[in-house]
Amino acid sequence: MAAEEAGVVPRTPGCLCVLCGLPAAGKSTLALQVLRTARQRGWRAGVFPYDDLITEQAFQTRSAEDGEDMHTEWKLHRQAVLQCVEDFLERREPPSRRRINRAAWEQCIRPLLQPASYQAPLLFLLDDNFYYPSMRYEVFQLARKYSLGFCQVHLRCDLDTCVSRNQNRSEPIPTSVLLEMVKRLEPPNPQKNTWETNSLSLNSAESLSECDTQKVMELISSALSNPPSPVEDNTEQTEADRLKCATSVIHQADQACRRLVSDAMTTARGAQVPSEKMRSLVAQLNQSKATFLQNLRRQLLQEASFSQEDVDVERVVGRAVDVFDRERKEILSRIINEKK
């Protein structure tokens, strides 16, 4: 009765299914195959592609060089999608938030509003890269809050295939975005994160088969029958805190490293380093920065006690960036000496 008074849809079985992987890995293709099969079973199913739902403003902001504002704005747009899903679960009202493409949202939820049996499951297929576990954990938290099933499907596809498919799209994304995504993507890891137990990995380098679709349907059916308990789990919360803190450290370290790279370029120009050497310097510094950030993130996530409550983030960032700064100075010195 309390749930009904609060406006929550009572006891309707449902599932939030995360489709993650590189751009052009085949997530949208799989989503359509699962959608067709789910509807054949009488389920109310919809695909929620983040690229369509998030307004163009977010993509423009994301590509700008405005540091923390860029990061924050993009995160807010992503969270707005899940907030709209929650609004639908509570009130079944269309979103009014500016960060969501309203026309795209209405198209996504239309199949969920069709007349159906009271016990017909609701299936939300969330189509995005979801490259960090923290992004996927937000979906899990929503599923747990409303006692919905939760599962993940990771599409494994080699970079060359993704690049080739992307180039054949009507609106391809820059290859540099794909290369950056390869560095950031952290596939589901049930051994490390207990909340990722309901996960499936499919090789999507070739065409996805009916067998693949059937495996996904079995995963979703299992998730529907075993929704996560709404009771808070301290272990999971600790993991979420660690992910949040690590993301904050990485972001701040990235901004600091960018400034150091810019300073190195200014120093090199002042030393009249030739243009071909300048290009080499940029390449070496960017590669060093990418490797440094990747190793830093891995190190942070391996420290079980690492969270914002007991760690001085600014101090951790400072110490970490000192490591990159030493390597930066070595690379700069080597390039300048080569000029002589």
CATH of the domain at 152: 3.40.50.300
Q: Are 87 and 211 within one domain? A: yes
- Report the pLDDT value the prediction gives residue 46, as an integer from 0 to 100: 94
Q: Are 262 and 171 within one domain? A: no
Domain finish residue from 185, 205, 231: 231
Q: Are 260 and 212 within one domain? A: no
Q: Is the pLDDT score of 73 beyond 70?
A: no
Please answer whether residues 271 and 287 qualify as being in contact, where contact means their C-beta atoms are separated by less than 8 angstroms. no
Confidence bin at 270 (pLDDT 50/70/90): confident
Alpha-helical (H) ranges within the chain are 2-6, 27-40, 50-53, 56-63, 68-91, 102-109, 133-145, 159-167, 175-184, 210-225, 234-270, 275-302, 313-339
Q: Are 209 and 257 within one domain? A: no
- Report the pLDDT value the prediction gives residue 171, as an integer from 0 to 100: 85
Q: Tell the burial category of 224 from Cβ atoms under 10 Å away from its Cβ (0-12, 13-18, 19+).
A: buried
Tell me the average pLDDT across 61-73. Answer: 44
As a whole-number percent, the residues of the chain with pLDDT over 70 amount to: 80
- Report the pLDDT value the prediction gives residue 1, as an integer from 0 to 100: 37
- Report the pLDDT value the prediction gives residue 137, as an integer from 0 to 100: 92
| The residue count for the chain | 340
Q: Determine if the pTM surpasses 0.75.
A: no
- Report the pLDDT value the prediction gives residue 204, as an integer from 0 to 100: 92
Please answer whether residues 115 and 6 qualify as being in contact, where contact means their C-beta atoms are separated by less than 8 angstroms. no
Q: Is the pLDDT score of 68 beyond 80?
A: no
- Encode pLDDT of 202-259 as tens digits: 999 888 999 999 999 999 999 999 998 875 555 666 666 677 777 888 888 888 899 9
Confidence bin at 303 (pLDDT 50/70/90): low
Q: Are 243 and 214 within one domain? A: no
- Report the pLDDT value the prediction gives residue 309, as an integer from 0 to 100: 46
The total domain count for the chain is: 2
Q: Is the pLDDT score of 5 beyond 50?
A: no
Q: Are 204 and 253 within one domain? A: no
Structural domain boundaries enclosing 293: 235-339
Q: Are 226 and 326 within one domain? A: no
Domain finish residue from 231, 261, 291: 231
Confidence bin at 336 (pLDDT 50/70/90): confident
- Encode pLDDT of 161-215 as tens digits: 999 999 998 888 888 888 888 888 999 999 888 899 999 999 998 889 999 999 9
